[in-house]
Amino acid sequence: MINILVALYAFFLNLLAVSIGMAFIYSVARVLNLAHGAFFVLGGYLATALITSLGPVPGALATAAILAALPPLLYLYVRFARDELEQLFVTYALLLLMEGLFKLVFGYGNYTLADLAAGLGAVFIEGQRIPNAYLLGGAAVAGLMAVLYILLYKTRLGLYMRAVSDDSEMAAALGVKSPLVQHLSIFLGVFTTSLLGAVAATWQAYTLGLSAEVLIYAFAALVIGGLGNLWGVAAASALVAAVRTATVMVYPELELLAIYLVVIAVLLVRPGGIFTRHARVA
Amino acid sequence: MASRRDLLKMGVSFVVGLGVGAGLTSLLRPQVAQVSPTGTTTLETPKPTTTAAGRKRDVFKLGVVTFQTGAASIFGVPALNAAQLLVEQINQAGGILGAKVELVVRDESGGSDKMIAVYRELTQQAGVDAYIGLISSADCLAVAPVAEELGTTLTVFFDCATKQLVDKDMMKKVTFRTGGTTVTDGVSLARYVLEVMPDVKTVVGLNQDYAYGRDEWSDFKNALLTLKPDVKVLDELFTPLFSTDYSAQISKILDLKPDLVHTSFWGPDLVNFIKQASARGLFQQTRVAFARGEFGLYEGMPDGQIVEGPHYHGFPDPKAYSINRDFVNAYTSRFGSPPPYPAYHMANAILGVKYAFEVAAAAENVGWPDLSAVVKVFKRLAYPAPGDYIIMTPNHNAMRGAVVGVSKGGRLTSLKYMHPAEVNPPVGVVSDQWIKSL
């Protein structure tokens, strides 16, 4: 039993880490960031490289500093895109560009902090090892979710973000600087994404080609949860984790399809996703 | 809104552009339309230097196709490294029949349709004298029929391990493979497992959900069950390629408590499984047999696991076998780590091409052999390569042995070489039938 719970928890954590940033950017700025996976992977690469060479604390600080300085890059880039189609082109091009840069800078090897994380030890429940890294990772993800929650619901900027998310023209008419708010949320979303990528380096390895794989999972969670709904993404991750774990336990042949079956089922029953309250204004 | 004049301008510039473009193209690349025997029209660029067979050449163009992007770069990059290293060495020693070898490199990413296009481009336009390539089985299965139909270029698959190439007799004219199949992997691993774990009772399979993973598992499972029928398969797990989380599988294995787990994981999946399984204590409870575990040795694989490399740099003993010693030393000093098995696979292919051309020229007593002579020689050729003596057979496939060992401190120990005859079906026997007859 405890083993099933660990599996559920680990996959939930994994999926949540992968999808929060993408949901955030889409919900406020309406940018479907196809380079999302690449930013996640970038966080993992940087954290591994810097923490193994500089040591845990300076490495983590350096990683955070570099990651915070990166979003302006995306800003410059996304400015060129005027509509959704251009966004897709522009962000997909960015994905390819970043993959090329990864090969140039990090080579073709595997990057992971799992060994460092293993040094954190484990707790034993019913004789089963539960790595502390999973628990700390969970705490990190929960902390980030809390920060995003406070930002969105307890601050003025959050109010603007929600207003822009609901109807950016109306928000602009009422005096909100819509484009500025959108760009800020892109910064935040990308920063969150790469930070979570860095956290996930404690349980997974990064290598070339992973950006596109990450994107598929994030996109599935986004669609299931309801496009652009932060809490929907959390519910979607839990749902997919439950279905996937059940599949592996009962009928592993189907695992390849599990996540897509959930997507199809949700789209059939609630085409807008689980957590869509009302139709969005374009 | 564009006015009529604008439209006219656009129309005119379009036509002018087309004309200029066509003119430039014809200047740059003379093309001849050719109707092939099958009725499809192909555009062919005549080779700039059409030398008659028999006369010496200055340049030997060697096309090399491996993954240079994506997760499979972990195989493709070392393979290309080995190709560059060997070509330099061959050129320093006078080239192939006096011709300087020039590499024409392409990326394998993009899927099998693209690999067919790349094959046509290399053979018809770039005019390579020989083609070496392909790690993915799907790519080999797609390119082989095209290569056979065109029949223009010596084509050597250096790494893909699908048994269908031999079982369906797909390599008959110009296509060869200098490596073994998933049968070689499965049978050698099963034999070794039974040597070190004679009492093995239960096994779980954990493989990637695509043709290669399924083949590796079924060949291993069938061999193990034939050699020891009382082994019980507790479960067969298949995971999507490049999953980053294996907790569900690890949980299931921890609950099932098998004696042995078989996996053919590679790339990030191999690393993720090793790390996550170590963190959960799986290796303390169960032994794992890895069909592609060599890369895991450098990623913290726990001691005592069974690893099959199709090759391993410690075999044949570099002290005794200078060809391997020189290869390991040259590769290590240049690229910083010992050559992994894809580097050996590439060496097998490049040396195969070299020896096939040289032996054919000697046999025919000409300066440059034609393709039919090369093919005739290649299917009966045996030659020394860094990792083994490569023995080619009339079904255009190598009879390859395999090296299996036990992990210890990031190295393989207790190495055992499995003789080709014990881990491959004889020529003409279908793999599955042969495994059942073990």
Distance from CA of B169 to the nearest CA of A (A): 30
Domain annotation for chain B: domains and CATH numbers = 59-180+318-400 (3.40.50.2300), 183-309+403-436 (3.40.50.2300)
Q: Which of A135, A248, A260 to mutate to test the interface with B (most CBs of B within 10 A)?
A: A248
Which residue in the set A108, A252, A255 is minimally distant from B77, CB to CB? Answer: A108
Q: Which residues of A touch B247 (CB under 8 A)?
A: 6-7, 9-11
For range B219-232, the mean pLDDT:
97
For range B204-213, the mean pLDDT:
95
pLDDT category of residue A277 using cuts at 50, 70 and 90: low
Q: What is the DSSP letter of A206?
A: B
For range B249-257, the mean pLDDT:
96
| More confident: B40 or B263 | B263
Which residue in the set A99, A131, A205 is minimally distant from B279, CB to CB? Answer: A131
Residue A252 has pLDDT above 60, yes or no: yes
Give the percent of chain B with pLDDT over 70.
Answer: 88
Which residue in the set B239, B242, B275 is minimally distant from A114, CB to CB? Answer: B275
Q: Which residues of B touch A118 (CB under 8 A)?
A: 275, 278-279
Give the percent of chain B with pLDDT over 90.
Answer: 86
For range B325-342, the mean pLDDT:
97
- Span B275-324, pLDDT tens digits: 999 999 999 999 999 999 999 999 999 999 999 988 999 999 999 999 99
Residues, chain A: 282
The encoded tokens of residue B156 equal 């050597």
**Beta-carbon separation of B271 and A245 below 8 A:** no
* pLDDT at residue B312 in the model: 95
Q: Is B69 on the interface with A (CB under 8 A)?
A: yes
SS3 category, A209: coil
SS3 category, A58: helix
**Beta-carbon separation of B268 and A110 below 8 A:** yes
Q: Is B73 on the interface with A (CB under 8 A)?
A: yes
**Beta-carbon separation of B248 and A14 below 8 A:** no
pLDDT category of residue A29 using cuts at 50, 70 and 90: confident
Backbone angles phi, psi at A194, to 5 degrees: -70, -30
CA distance B121 to B143: 12
* pLDDT at residue A228 in the model: 66
* pLDDT at residue B140 in the model: 97
pLDDT category of residue B5 using cuts at 50, 70 and 90: low
Cβ atoms B167, B430 nearer than 8 A: yes
- Span B127-155, pLDDT tens digits: 999 999 999 999 999 999 999 999 999 99
Residue B21 has pLDDT above 60, yes or no: no
| More confident: B36 or B116 | B116
Which residue in the set A109, A207, A245 is minimally distant from B248, CB to CB? Answer: A245
Beta bridge partners of B290: B263, B307
Residue B216 has pLDDT above 50, yes or no: yes
**Beta-carbon separation of B70 and A208 below 8 A:** yes
Which residue in the set A110, A117, A249 is minimally distant from B299, CB to CB? Answer: A110
* pLDDT at residue A11 in the model: 94
* pLDDT at residue B197 in the model: 97
* pLDDT at residue A1 in the model: 82
SS3 category, A250: helix
Report the complex ipTM: 0.92
Residue B352 has pLDDT above 80, yes or no: yes
Residue B54 has pLDDT above 90, yes or no: no
| More confident: A65 or B206 | B206
Which residue in the set B235, B239, B244 is minimally distant from A255, CB to CB? Answer: B239
Which residue in the set B71, B209, B248 is minimally distant from A207, CB to CB? Answer: B71
CA distance A67 to A11: 25
* pLDDT at residue A80 in the model: 66
Cβ atoms A8, A2 nearer than 8 A: no
Residue B34 has pLDDT above 50, yes or no: no
Residue B20 has pLDDT above 60, yes or no: no
**Beta-carbon separation of A209 and B73 below 8 A:** yes
* pLDDT at residue B233 in the model: 97
Residue B42 has pLDDT above 50, yes or no: no
| More confident: B225 or B55 | B225
Distance from CA of B108 to the nearest CA of A (A): 13
* pLDDT at residue A76 in the model: 66
**Beta-carbon separation of A14 and B244 below 8 A:** yes
Beta bridge partners of A131: A122
Residue of B nearest to A259 (CA): B240
Q: Which residues of A touch B209 (CB under 8 A)?
A: 255-256
Q: Is B111 on the interface with A (CB under 8 A)?
A: no
Residues, chain B: 438
* pLDDT at residue B149 in the model: 97
Q: Which residues of B touch A4 (CB under 8 A)?
A: 251
- Span B169-179, pLDDT tens digits: 999 999 999 99
| More confident: B27 or B13 | B13
* pLDDT at residue A32 in the model: 85
Residue of A nearest to B214 (CA): A253
| More confident: A102 or B51 | A102
Distance from CA of A158 to the nearest CA of B (A): 33
Q: What is the mean pLDDT of chain A?
A: 88
Q: Is B329 on the interface with A (CB under 8 A)?
A: no
* pLDDT at residue A68 in the model: 87
* pLDDT at residue B48 in the model: 40
Longest dimension (CA), chain B: 87
**Beta-carbon separation of B279 and A129 below 8 A:** yes
Residue B396 has pLDDT above 90, yes or no: yes
Residue of A nearest to B337 (CA): A109
Lowest-confidence pick of A87-91, A241-245, B11-15, B335-339: B11-15
For range A38-48, the mean pLDDT:
95
Q: Number of CB pairs < 8 Å for A and B?
A: 131
CA distance A124 to B212: 37
Q: Which of A97, A141, A204 to mutate to test the interface with B (most CBs of B within 10 A)?
A: A204
Q: Which residues of B touch A130 (CB under 8 A)?
A: 280
Q: What is the mean pLDDT of chain B?
A: 89
Three-class SS of chain B:
CCCHHHHHHHHHHHHHHHHHHHHHHHHHCCCEEEECCCCCEEEECCCCCCCCCCCCCCEEEEEEEECCCCCCHHHHHHHHHHHHHHHHHHHHCCCECCEEEEEEEEECCCCHHHHHHHHHHHHHHCCCCEEEECCCHHHHHHHHHHHHHHCCCEEEECCCCCCHHHHCCCCCCCEEECCCCHHHHHHHHHHHHHHHCCCCCEEEEEEECCHHHHHHHHHHHHHHHHHCCCCEEEEEEEECCCCCCCHHHHHHHHHHCCCEEEECCCHHHHHHHHHHHHHCCHHHCCEEEECCCHHHHHHCCCCCCEEEECCCCCCCCCCCCHHHHHHHHHHHHHHCCCCCHHHHHHHHHHHHHHHHHHHHHHHHCCCCCCHHHHHHHHCCCEEEECCEEEEECCCCEEECCEEEEEEECCEEEEEEEECHHHHCCCCCCCHHHHHHCC
The encoded tokens of residue B21 equal 């473009």
For range A107-134, the mean pLDDT:
90
SS3 category, A13: helix
pLDDT category of residue B26 using cuts at 50, 70 and 90: very low
pLDDT category of residue B8 using cuts at 50, 70 and 90: very low
